[in-house]
Structure 1
Amino acid sequence: MPSGASTAESKRIATVLFDEVTKERDVTSFDRYAADPLHQHNPQSYDGIAAAKEQFTSAFAANPDLSISVKRVIADGEYVAFHHHFKSSPEDRGAAVIDIFRVRAGKVVEHWDVIQPVPEKSANDNTMF
């Protein structure tokens, strides 16, 4: 653990940021819990706190019924992963998403995501969640 951050502290910081942004729609949480530049690994996202705030503000404005239902949180040292069901509206099947955050010196410094649409039909009876 190069940053010296404990798993518990990394999980706390990432969870507060994730919950404040996704549940409370408080994009100013990036100012408190992320370092600038916030390094994005999604090729459709720009680096930086201002870009992250704009991306979420635009998404909330375009999709007022957007919902994110966290299914599990996994933390190990400075890495914290959220597995969640992302839906742009109640009738949307949505996507299974894993967001991964890296926490250093008390701030989120990096973000990755993996997104898989929820299909209409599945080859098995298991859910994606």
Structure 2
Amino acid sequence: MSRTAAEEANLKLVLDMFAEVLNPMDSSAAERFISPDYIQHNQAVEPGLAPFKAFLDMIREQTPEAVHDVKRAFVDGDHVTVHYHVRRWPDDLGWAVMDIFRIENGMVAEHWDVMQDVVEGGPNPLSPF
């Protein structure tokens, strides 16, 4: 199935946001990607762009070596889903994360996420990635 031009643009927006905002944890670049009235569903962060930027600054200060390793990304209309591995420091097992972003007018307008710890020695030998 081929993507529409709008879907290609939405996917590019989100992947560029990972490259320019989330991986470098650069809050100053966030307004190029995220709407000022951003709707946040993560229970640890208040809604809006300013609280997201403050959260990103806090994470950067606490874990400056953190990485967001994107494993796969999907687009369906105005929604982009990204499955990735967050590691807070180089030897951290980290989290498996799924983010869902809703795009409106060329900006991320809304966000949901689900996270689980990556563990060693569990009953399932398969990787979460």
Work out the CA distance in 2 between the residues paired with 1:37 and 1:112.
15
Q: Could you report, residue by residue, the CA deviation over 1:70-91 in whole angstroms, capped at 9, with x for unpaired residues?
A: 1011111111111111111112
Report deviation, 1:125.
Answer: 2.2
Amino acid aligned to 1:96:
A
Aligned position for 1:32: 32
Residues 1:53 and 1:107: Cα distance change in structure 2 (over 3 Å): same
Query: Is residue 50 of structure 2 the alignment partner of residue 76 of structure 1?
Result: no
**Identical residues among aligned pairs (%):** 34
1:13-52 aligned at under 5 Å gives the runs 13-52=13-52
Amino acid aligned to 2:21:
V
Residue pair 1:101, 1:109 contacting (<8 A) in 2 also: yes
Work out the CA distance in 1 between the residues paired with 2:103 and 2:117.
27
Aligned position for 2:95: 95
* Two-structure CA RMSD over aligned residues (Å): 1.6
Work out the CA distance in 1 between the residues paired with 2:81 and 2:55.
20
Work out the CA distance in 1 between the residues paired with 2:110 and 2:88.
24
- Structure 2 residue runs of 5 or longer lacking an equivalent are none
Work out the CA distance in 2 between the residues paired with 1:113 and 1:29.
21
Residue pair 2:97, 2:115 contacting (<8 A) in 1 also: yes
Residue pair 2:23, 2:66 contacting (<8 A) in 1 also: no
Work out the CA distance in 2 between the residues paired with 1:75 and 1:29.
23
Report deviation, 1:24.
Answer: 3.0
Work out the CA distance in 1 between the residues paired with 2:42 and 2:26.
21
Q: TM-score, normalised by structure 1?
A: 0.90
Report the count of equivalent residues. Answer: 126
Work out the CA distance in 2 between the residues paired with 1:70 and 1:14.
11
SS at match of 2:99: strand
Residue pair 1:100, 1:113 contacting (<8 A) in 2 also: yes
Higher RCO (CA-CA < 8 Å; seq separation 6+):
1
SS at match of 2:60: helix
| Larger displacement relative to structure 2 (68-77 or 14-23) | 14-23
- Structure 1 residue runs of 5 or longer lacking an equivalent are none
